[in-house]
Amino acid sequence: MLISLTEENYLKAIYSLSHLEADADVSTNQISDHLSIKAATVTDMLKRLAEKKLIHYIPYQGVKLSEKGKSTAIKVVRKHRLWEVFLVDKLQFKWDEVHEIAEQLEHINSDELIQRLDKFLGKPKFDPHGDPIPDANGQLNIVKAIPLNQHKTKGSFTFVGVAEHSKTFLQHLTSIGLKIGDAVKIEEINEFDNSFKVKINKTNSQFFSNKVASNILVEEKK
């Protein structure tokens, strides 16, 4: 059975929305907002995806991926993230430049291609934004990273990913000089505005607004 580019995008949207709240159904409006497509159109598509057994759809109640839909969505995510690694590692793109191109490349259809690309890149486990890359069987590491601003005490962490993927935010981090893998130490938490004073890689100290800190995912340093 062939799945169109458009259908792949719906499945991917449902997949990522389904992780916002654990195990909750995804609503028509959520998909509509996420894809910037009118709700009436989404209803249309949900009927077609249900027809193809890619989702479980109950009118007025929302939608869940079927096993087939889930594995299709994960394959698209795998392709997206592998291509992002290619663009950054091999073609020297910056991490804020690759998403739009990967949105196109993720729909290229060839198992052989992906298998070889994966090998060429050294079977990477994470993409340039710290997001885990599903393996060929669709398994992916669950990242247990926590937004920096959820830490309420001083401590040392590693910057492992971003919660927000917008170009402007990524560029902001670049201008701050913060890269994936950097050491991040909370030196002060400001009561007044919940901003953070943070030392990066044991050298320079910076102030992060709470909003910035909320989009910086860190792990306990080991």
Does 28 engage in binding with DNA (CB under 7 A)? yes
Does 17 engage in binding with DNA (CB under 7 A)? no
Residue with tokens 């910035």: 212
Nearest to 64 by CA among 32, 33, 30, 26: 26
- Length of the chain, please? 222
Amino acid at 177: G
Candidate residues 17, 42, 87, 117; the one interacting with DNA per rule CB under 7 A = 42
From the list Mn ion, a second copy, DNA, none, pick the one residue 189 interacts with, judged by a Cβ distance below 5 to 8 Å according to partner type.
Answer: none
Please tell me whether residue 51 adopts helix, strand or coil conformation: helix
Candidate residues 29, 110, 150, 190; the one interacting with a second copy per rule CB under 8 A = 110
Residue with tokens 């096993």: 67
- Contact between 34 and 17 under an 8 Å Cβ cutoff? The reply is yes
Candidate residues 24, 58, 108, 136; the one interacting with a second copy per rule CB under 8 A = 108
Q: H/E element holding 184?
A: strand 183-189
| Residues 72-91 interacting with a second copy (rule: CB under 8 A) | 87, 90-91
Residue ranges that bind a second copy, judged by CB under 8 A: 87, 90-93, 97, 100-101, 104-105, 108-110, 112-113, 116-117, 120
Residue ranges that bind DNA, judged by CB under 7 A: 4-7, 27-30, 32, 36-48, 57, 59-62
